[in-house]
Amino acid sequence: MADETINYVREAFFHPLNLGVLFTSTLSAFFLSDFGLIPNALLTFTFGLELVYLGVVPRLSSFIKKIKLKKIKEREPVLESKNVFNSLTEVQQKKFLVLKHLTLKVRENFEKQPYTSQGLLANIEKKIDGLLNNYINLLDLHKRFQMFIQSVNEGNLVKEIESEEQEMEKIDSERLKERKKRRMLILRKRLDRIKSANERYEICNTEIDTIEDAIRYIYEQSMTMNNPEEIGFQLDNLLSEVEETSSIIESLESTGYDEFGIFEKKTETDQFSEKSGSTGSVNYLKHGEKL
């Protein structure tokens, strides 16, 4: 982030500690209004100190570094989501944009409802945003598990294990048997990993479908709302159930599972996927929507 885009004087002024001092001083002057020149002196001293503060603090290197770090942290979630979006395949990007469009339509329909219902509906909108974030993360996981599964032929692996078992029955040498057993152990571990990857891949599929159905249902309900409060509670309960996807994603991204290498930042397959999804990236930029 370029320095000129950050107004350090403004950041210093709106710092909670500075605002607290100004508020306390002003309040104190108000309560001391019956004590002659004391309130004026207090306010004069406070404003003078404020000018010194605004003249010195925004120039301090420690303050500048702190504000830069704060701004970077604020931008990280958005940048991360955009990076994930750009790494998806073109088909996945289109699926995400369709769902994103539906959530925008839901907001438009919610805005037409009475003011008294806006508090409840605002809570639902917040949960929808969370679902959308989970959705794009699931699409990313789905792509990675799919790449891993396609990189290994489970059928050939099963045949190799069966072949090794048959050979072991014919071998008399104990030393050779031990070596065969070692290979068998590795082959079975590989097979277990493939089965686990297949299971997680199917979980991703199910959760993706569930979120799509939930958001479409909310969209349909938002179009025909008669009693926003009653429907709002129904939708809130629905979203609370679907929100479990956050814990499911954490489980799918478990550290031990990275032995497959599916979470490496750059692989040849990832680069190919990014190229194949380049058209979708352009579409996303054309929409100008924030993730």
Tens of pLDDT, residue by residue over 65-100, are 888 767 655 554 555 667 788 888 899 999 999 999
pTM of the entire predicted model: 0.54
**Is residue 110 pLDDT above 50, yes or no?**
yes
Q: What pLDDT score does 21 carry?
A: 86
pLDDT in tens, 205-220: 888 888 888 888 888 8
Average pLDDT over residues 53-58: 90
C-beta separation of 75 from 189 below 8 A: no
Measured torsion, CA atoms of residues 42, 48, 50, 55, in degrees rounded to the nearest 10: -170
With a pLDDT cut of 70, the percent of the chain lying above it is 70
Domain boundaries, the chain: 3-59, 89-287
**Is residue 243 pLDDT above 50, yes or no?**
yes
Q: Pinpoint the alpha helices (H) of the chain.
A: 8-13, 16-31, 38-56, 61-87, 90-111, 118-151, 154-170, 174-223, 228-242, 245-252, 268-276, 278-287
Q: What pLDDT score does 80 carry?
A: 61
Q: What pLDDT score does 151 carry?
A: 82
